[in-house]
Amino acid sequence: MRKRIAVLLTSLALSCALGAGPGATAVMAEETKNASSGNAELVVGLSQDLDNSLDPYQITAAGTREVLFNVFEGLVKPDTDGNFVDAVASEHSVSDDGITYTFTLRDGVKFHNGETVSADDVLYSFETCAATTTNTAVAGALSDIQDVTSSGNEITITLKEKNSSFLSTVSSVSIVPADYADQATAPVGTGPFRFESYSPQDKVVFVRNDDYYAGAPALSKVTCRIFEDANALYTSLDAGALDMALHMSLDQVNSLSNGYDVIEGEMNLVQALYLNNGKAPFDDERVRQALCYAIDIDSILELTEDGHGAKLGSSVYPSFTKYFDESLVGAYPYDPAKAAELLDEAGASGLSFTIKVPSNYTPHVDTASVIVEMLSAAGINASIQKVEWSTWLNDVYQGRDFEATVIGFDAAYLSADALLQRWVSTDSSNMINYSNKDYDAAIEKAQHATDDEEQVAAYKEAEKILSDTAANVYIQDLADFVVLNPKFTGYEFYPLYASDFSKIRPV
Amino acid sequence: MRQIIKKTASLIITLFIVSLLAFLAFQIIPGDPTTKILGTSASPEKVAALRTQLGLDRPVWERYIDWLVSFLKGDFGTSYNYMRPVRSLLADKLPVTVLLTVMSFAITAAAAIPLGIVLGSIRNALADHLTMILDQIIMAVPPFFFGIIACYLFGIVLKWFLPGGYVPLSASIPGCLSYLLLPALSLALPRIAMTVRMLRGSIRHELTQNYVLTAQSRGMPLRAILIRHVMRNAMIPVVTFLAVSAAEIMTGTIIIEQVFTIPGIGRLLVSSIGNRDFPVVQAIVVILAAWIMIVNFIADLLNHWMDPRMRSE
- Residues 261-280 (B) with a CB less than 8 A from some CB of A: 261, 263, 267-268, 270-271, 274-276
Whether the CB-CB separation of A158 and A100 falls below 8 Å is answered with yes
Confidence bin at A9 (pLDDT 50/70/90): very low
**Chain B touched by A10 (CB under 8 Å):** no
On the question of pLDDT at A50 being above 80, the answer is yes
Structural domain count of chain A: 3
Print the SS3 string covering A15-81. HHHHHHHHHHHHHHHHHHHHHHCCCCEEEEEECCCCCCCCCCCCCCCHHHHHHHCCCCCCCEEECCC
Please answer yes or no on whether B267 and A228 come within 8 Å at the CB atom. Answer: yes
Confidence bin at A48 (pLDDT 50/70/90): confident
On the question of pLDDT at A274 being above 70, the answer is yes
- Is residue A407 included in any domain, yes or no? yes
d(CA B260, CA B244): 24
> Do A106 and A163 fall into the same domain?
yes
> Do A421 and A469 fall into the same domain?
yes
Whether the CB-CB separation of B41 and A429 falls below 8 Å is answered with yes
- A20 contacts on B by Cβ (under 8 Å): 154, 160-161, 178, 181-182
Q: Closest to B31 (Cβ–Cβ): which among A16, A238, A391? A: A391
Q: What's the fold here for domain B95-265? A: MetI-like fold (1.10.3720)
Give residue A245's identity as a one-letter amino acid code. A
d(CA A187, CA A53): 9
pLDDT over 90, % of chain A: 55
Helix (H, G, I), strand (E, B) or coil at A299: helix
Please answer yes or no on whether B121 and A2 come within 8 Å at the CB atom. Answer: yes
What predicted TM-score, i.e. pTM, was given to this entire model? 0.78
- Neighbouring C-alpha atoms within 13 Å toward the C-beta of A388: 16
- Neighbouring C-alpha atoms within 13 Å toward the C-beta of A382: 28
Which pLDDT value is given to residue A188?
Answer: 96
State the average pLDDT over residues A194-216.
92
Preceding peptide of A22 cis, ω within 30° = no
Please answer yes or no on whether B159 and A239 come within 8 Å at the CB atom. Answer: yes
Task: Choose, out of A14, A393, A421, the residue to mutate when testing the contact with B (most B CBs < 10 Å).
Answer: A393
**How many residues are there in chain B?**
313
**Chain A touched by B303 (CB under 8 Å):** no
- Is residue A333 included in any domain, yes or no? yes
Weakest mean pLDDT among A42-56, A398-412, B3-17: B3-17
Buried b (16+ CB within 10 A) or exposed e, B281-301: bbbbbbbbbebbbebbbebbe
Which pLDDT value is given to residue B241?
Answer: 86
**Chain B touched by A24 (CB under 8 Å):** yes
The domain containing residue A143 runs over which residues?
Answer: 76-172
- Is residue A5 included in any domain, yes or no? no
On the question of pLDDT at A38 being above 60, the answer is no
- From A172, A206, A226, give the residue that closes a domain: A172
- Residues 221-240 (B) with a CB less than 8 A from some CB of A: 223, 226
Whether the CB-CB separation of A213 and B142 falls below 8 Å is answered with no
On the question of pLDDT at A33 being above 60, the answer is no
Q: Closest to B37 (Cβ–Cβ): which among A9, A52, A201? A: A52
Please answer yes or no on whether B172 and A26 come within 8 Å at the CB atom. Answer: yes
- Is residue A134 included in any domain, yes or no? yes
Beta bridge partners, B291, equal none
On the question of pLDDT at A287 being above 90, the answer is yes
Please answer yes or no on whether B35 and A394 come within 8 Å at the CB atom. Answer: yes
Q: Closest to B47 (Cβ–Cβ): which among A200, A257, A398? A: A398
Helix (H, G, I), strand (E, B) or coil at A95: coil
DSSP state of A398: I
Q: Which among A221, A169, A175 has a CA at the least distance from the CA of A194? A: A221
Print the SS3 string covering chain B. CHHHHHHHHHHHHHHHHHHHHHHHHHHHCCCCHHHHHHHHHCCHHHHHHHHHHHCCCCCHHHHHHHHHHHHHCCCCCECCCCCCEHHHHHHHHHHHHHHHHHHHHHHHHHHHHHHHHHHHHCCCHHHHHHHHHHHHHHHHCCHHHHHHHHHHHHHHHCCCCCCCCCCCCCCCHHHHHHHHHHHHHHHHHHHHHHHHHHHHHHHHHHHCCHHHHHHHHCCCCHHHHHHHHHHHHHHHHHHHHHHHHHHHHHHHHHHHHHHCCCCCHHHHHHHHHHCCCHHHHHHHHHHHHHHHHHHHHHHHHHHHHHCHHHHHC
**Chain A touched by B47 (CB under 8 Å):** yes
Give the CATH number, domain containing residue A226: 3.40.190.10
Which pLDDT value is given to residue A35?
Answer: 38
Q: Closest to A31 (Cβ–Cβ): which among B38, B162, B259? A: B162
> Do A391 and A441 fall into the same domain?
yes
Distance from CA of B81 to the nearest CA of A (A): 5
What residues have CB less than 8 Å from A71, skipping those under 6 apart? A56, A112, A187, A189, A191, A193, A194, A195, A206
- Is residue A11 included in any domain, yes or no? no
- B164 contacts on A by Cβ (under 8 Å): 45, 225, 227, 232-233, 235-237, 239, 241-242
- Residues 92-151 (B) with a CB less than 8 A from some CB of A: 92-93, 107, 110-111, 114-115, 117-118, 121, 151
**Chain A touched by B43 (CB under 8 Å):** yes
Indicate the angle between helix axes B173-207 and B143-150, nearest 10 degrees.
140
> Do A94 and A242 fall into the same domain?
no
What residues have CB less than 8 Å from A22, skipping those under 6 apart? B174, B178
Please answer yes or no on whether B155 and A389 come within 8 Å at the CB atom. Answer: no
> Do A91 and A42 fall into the same domain?
no
**Chain B touched by A95 (CB under 8 Å):** no
Which pLDDT value is given to residue B310?
Answer: 64
Weakest mean pLDDT among A356-360, A449-453, B271-275, B304-308: B304-308
Distance from CA of B99 to the nearest CA of A (A): 16
Residues of chain B with pLDDT under 50: 313
Please answer yes or no on whether B274 and A184 come within 8 Å at the CB atom. Answer: no
Distance from CA of B206 to the nearest CA of A (A): 18
d(CA A372, CA A383): 6
Which pLDDT value is given to residue A82?
Answer: 79
State the average pLDDT over residues A102-129.
93
What residues have CB less than 8 Å from A187, skipping those under 6 apart? A54, A55, A56, A68, A71, A72, A195
Please answer yes or no on whether A16 and B181 come within 8 Å at the CB atom. Answer: yes
- From A144, A172, A200, give the residue that closes a domain: A172
Task: Choose, out of A390, A421, A497, the residue to mutate when testing the contact with B (most B CBs < 10 Å).
Answer: A390
d(CA B198, CA A246): 49
Buried b (16+ CB within 10 A) or exposed e, A257-278: eeebeebebbbbbbbbbbbbbe
Question: In this predicted complex, what is the ipTM?
Answer: 0.74
Distance from CA of A211 to the nearest CA of B (A): 28
- Residues 37-56 (A) with a CB less than 8 A from some CB of B: 45, 49, 51-53
Weakest mean pLDDT among A318-322, A394-398, A460-464, B305-309: B305-309
Mean pLDDT for all residues in chain A: 86
DSSP state of A225: E
State the average pLDDT over residues A368-392.
90
On the question of pLDDT at A28 being above 50, the answer is no
Weakest mean pLDDT among A160-164, A183-187, A348-352, B111-115: A160-164
> Do A89 and A117 fall into the same domain?
yes
Whether the CB-CB separation of A238 and A258 falls below 8 Å is answered with yes
d(CA A318, CA A324): 5
- Is residue A243 included in any domain, yes or no? yes
- Residues 187-206 (B) with a CB less than 8 A from some CB of A: none
Which pLDDT value is given to residue A373?
Answer: 92
Please answer yes or no on whether B35 and A233 come within 8 Å at the CB atom. Answer: no
Whether the CB-CB separation of A205 and B168 falls below 8 Å is answered with no
Give the CATH number, domain containing residue A324: 3.10.105.10
Helix (H, G, I), strand (E, B) or coil at A159: strand
> Do A38 and A92 fall into the same domain?
no
Please answer yes or no on whether A390 and B275 come within 8 Å at the CB atom. Answer: yes
- Is residue A2 included in any domain, yes or no? no
**In a 10 Å sphere around its CB, with 0-12 CB exposed, 13-18 middle and 19+ buried, how is residue B151 labelled?**
buried
Please answer yes or no on whether B166 and A228 come within 8 Å at the CB atom. Answer: no
Q: A118-177, pLDDT tens digit by residue?
A: 999 999 999 999 998 887 778 888 988 999 999 989 999 999 988 878 888 999 999 999
Please answer yes or no on whether A21 and B160 come within 8 Å at the CB atom. Answer: yes
> Do A259 and A312 fall into the same domain?
no
> Do A412 and A488 fall into the same domain?
no
A–B CB contacts, 8 A cutoff, strictly below: 190
Q: A78-98, pLDDT tens digit by residue?
A: 988 878 999 999 999 999 888
Residue ranges of the domains in chain B? 95-265
- B168 contacts on A by Cβ (under 8 Å): 202
> Do A323 and A433 fall into the same domain?
yes
Whether the CB-CB separation of A319 and A495 falls below 8 Å is answered with yes
Distance from CA of A387 to the nearest CA of B (A): 10
Q: Closest to B31 (Cβ–Cβ): which among A225, A393, A429? A: A393
Distance from CA of B267 to the nearest CA of A (A): 8
- B78 contacts on A by Cβ (under 8 Å): none
Which pLDDT value is given to residue A126?
Answer: 94
Q: Which among A429, A484, A416 has a CA at the least distance from the CA of A455? A: A416
> Do A57 and A121 fall into the same domain?
no
Q: Which among A267, A232, A261, A236 has a CA at the least distance from the CA of A249? A: A267
